[in-house]
Amino acid sequence: MTQEEIAAVLADHARWLRGEGGKRASLYGANLTRANLTRANLTGANLTRANLTRASLIGANLTDANLIGANLTDANLTRASLIDADLYGANLTGADLTGAILTGARLTGANLTGARLDGADLYGNTVLRILRRATRSDGYEFFLWHCKEGFFIKAGCRFFDMDAARQHWTATRAGTPLGDETQDILDFFDVAITRTEKETAP
């Protein structure tokens, strides 16, 4: 898409957001390679499978946006709002998420290889990096986030510290194969936490 075509879609979307007619931005599968979407308001937009390789999304509002399967390789998402955005299966390889807000974002199946997360916000916690990731046999993904405030587990819509995670899955899955597997994943995360604490100790 040309920058002029993008501007027209954004203008229509802005009218839709204000309730003045317009049309919700539907950019399904659109080629937005290197597009300038700096500070664009794409709240609730459909960007499913869009190609946003090296796009500038600095300060963009992607709250509730559908980014399922989107290609965000090397995209600049510095300070972008991704609150409740759906990034299922998205490719975020090399993306810059410095200072981005990720609260409620769905990251199942997302590729975050080489992504920068310095200072990103996750439920009020300042992200340093994704320390570990594990997938349960039913496809449910677990992320271990290393934040300035501590270590946290994100799985689906769940966001817990280790103690709360163990309590939750003991209460809901105890005595089941998936429950045992979940505890194994938490044990794996615990080892990573211990190692990281030793490596970063003053």
Question: What pLDDT tens digit does each residue of the chain (202 aa) get?
Answer: 898 999 999 999 999 999 999 999 999 999 999 999 999 999 999 999 999 999 999 999 999 999 999 999 999 999 999 999 999 999 999 999 999 999 999 998 999 999 999 999 999 999 998 999 999 999 999 999 999 999 999 998 889 999 999 999 999 999 999 999 999 999 999 999 999 999 988 7
Choose the final residue of a domain: 99, 122, 145: 122
Please state, in angstroms and rounded to a whole number, the distance separating the CA atoms of residues 78 and 57: 7
Choose the final residue of a domain: 122, 143, 163: 122
Whether 186 is in a domain gets the answer yes
Give the range of the structural domain holding residue 44, as residue numbers without chain letter: 28-122
Please tell me whether residues 113 and 152 are part of one structural domain: no
The pTM (predicted TM-score) of the whole model is 0.85
DSSP code for 192: H
Please state, in angstroms and rounded to a whole number, the distance separating the CA atoms of residues 2 and 143: 37
Please tell me whether residues 137 and 95 are part of one structural domain: no
**Number of folded domains in the chain?**
2
Whether 178 is in a domain gets the answer yes
Please tell me whether residues 47 and 97 are part of one structural domain: yes
Whether 6 is in a domain gets the answer no
The beta-strand segments (E) located in 49-176 are 120-122, 125-135, 141-147, 150-155, 158-160
Please tell me whether residues 115 and 135 are part of one structural domain: no
Give the count of beta carbons closer than 10 Å to the beta carbon of residue 91.
Answer: 22
Choose the final residue of a domain: 98, 122, 146: 122
Please tell me whether residues 110 and 133 are part of one structural domain: no
Please state, in angstroms and rounded to a whole number, the distance separating the CA atoms of residues 151 and 145: 6
Please tell me whether residues 61 and 143 are part of one structural domain: no
Please tell me whether residues 37 and 113 are part of one structural domain: yes
CA nearest 88: which of 144, 24, 140?
A: 140
Please tell me whether residues 112 and 145 are part of one structural domain: no
Please state, in angstroms and rounded to a whole number, the distance separating the CA atoms of residues 11 and 24: 10
